Structure 1
Amino acid sequence: MAEIKLAAETRTEFGKGAARRIRRESKVPAVVYGHGADPVHITLPGHELHLALRQANVLLSLDIDGKTQLAIPKAVQRDAIKGFLEHVDLLLVRQGEKVNVDIYVHTEGELAPGGNLLEHVLNALPVEAEATHIPESVTVSIAGLEAGATILAKDIPLPAGTSLNVDGETVVLQVLAAQAEEAPAEGAEGEGEVAAEA
């Protein structure tokens, strides 16, 4: 997992008006916290931050007042309509430190023939991983699975140094039987004609 370097500026103005001014300058207000230190309010370059957040569980190397600090995103607020970044909460981390994160679950292969459906009970798997080696995702084979099959959290192979942060018996994926198309209820068509005439 690569580090992405961002230059941060500390800020002393708060509130909606200040946040709007920051965003007009193509920057994003953010707060950095963790390790028992007081939260530090910063601004980050909007375009670079937007690109960085495309990576799941990205590790950010922040230059804050000449000091480099590592952080991971914990909460990202976006505009509900336009989707632009409004605010980001960042958690300070250290080399070798363990953190709790969610990693995406991807699937590969095809289910057994029969039109059955795959349900993602969990789209992301809660795990504990080293802060500087957080996996972006895990991949699970569903090849040949039939209706009624389930994949539990404990069945998913995890990278070295990563452990489950959820009960191993938790269902992550399950295969649902194909639904037969329901025939129209008897007499429904006639009832509709009567209603139309009325």
Structure 2
Amino acid sequence: MAEIKLSAEQRTEFGKGAARRIRRENKVPAVLYGHGTDPVHVTLPGHETMLALKTANALLAVELDSEKHLAIPKDVQRDPLKGFIEHVDLLIVRRGEKVTVDIAINVVGDPEPGVLVVTENASVSLEVEATHIPTEIEVSVTGRQMGEQVLASDLDLPEGAALAVEDDYMILNLTHAPTAAEVDAELEGAEADAGIERDESETPEPESVEG
């Protein structure tokens, strides 16, 4: 994974008021920590940080004064309504160091007809080198049949990566894909249990075709 460079500035103001002022300047309050060092409170450029964090587990080269720190995002706080970044926790890492991160599962291909692929877990925790974090783990379901499962132990891991979960941690479960009739029958049953009566008169009559 390529390093993404970000220029940081040390900050001395704290609290909600200071954070609002920082964000008004299109910057993001953040903290750098790790390897037994005291946390360093910084500000990051807003637009560049937003772009960098679109990549999961991005490897950041944070330049602060005359020093450069390699770091990965450990916690990103976003505004629940507007989605902008409110604060970032960055974990300092070293080359060759192992870190535990959640990696997204990317499902590709199509199973046998009539099979529904249920994603039980959309990510898996791996122990990987900090400078070689994969962006995703690809899982093919091509030709898979009903009743099959994909467990963590079945994943094709990149070189140097190891599972940080149990081998039987379930990723995918392949089950029977319900037909439209089965879905309608289940919905009708749920409506009956809830005391909802269908008004058959609301069902549109098929249009007659005049010859």
* TM-score by shorter chain over 0.5: yes
Alignment of 1:9-20 (within 5 A): 9-20=9-20
Number of the residue aligned with 2:144: 145
- Is 1:157 the equivalent of 2:169? no
Report the secondary structure of 1:12's partner residue: coil
Number of the residue aligned with 2:91: 91
Residue 121 of structure 1: how far off its partner (Å): 0.9
Matched AA of 2:162 = S
Structure 1 length normalisation: TM-score?
Answer: 0.91
Residue segments in structure 1 that go unaligned for 5+ positions in a row = 194-198
Number of the residue aligned with 1:71: 71
Hey, what's the Cα distance between the residues in 1 that align with 2:116 and 2:81? 32
Alignment of 1:47-66 (within 5 A): 47-66=47-66
Hey, what's the Cα distance between the residues in 1 that align with 2:141 and 2:18? 50
Number of the residue aligned with 1:196: none
Report the secondary structure of 1:48's partner residue: helix
Alignment of 1:1-198 (within 5 A): 1-114=1-114, 116-179=115-178, 180-181=182-183, 182=185, 184=188, 192=197
Output the aligned Cα RMSD: 1.5
Hey, what's the Cα distance between the residues in 1 that align with 2:40 and 2:118? 41
Report the secondary structure of 1:22's partner residue: helix
Q: Sort the Cα spacing of 1:192 and 1:109 in 2 relative to 1 into closer, same or farther, 3 A.
A: closer
Residue 107 of structure 1: how far off its partner (Å): 1.2
Residue segments in structure 2 that go unaligned for 5+ positions in a row = 199-211
Residue 70 of structure 1: how far off its partner (Å): 0.3
Hey, what's the Cα distance between the residues in 2 that align with 1:26 and 1:192? 55
Q: Matched residue pairs, number?
A: 188
Structure 2 length normalisation: TM-score?
Answer: 0.86
Hey, what's the Cα distance between the residues in 1 that align with 2:56 and 2:161? 15
Hey, what's the Cα distance between the residues in 2 that align with 1:125 and 1:4? 24
Q: Percent identity?
A: 55
Hey, what's the Cα distance between the residues in 2 that align with 1:118 and 1:178? 8
Report the secondary structure of 2:42's partner residue: strand
Hey, what's the Cα distance between the residues in 1 that align with 2:24 and 2:197? 57
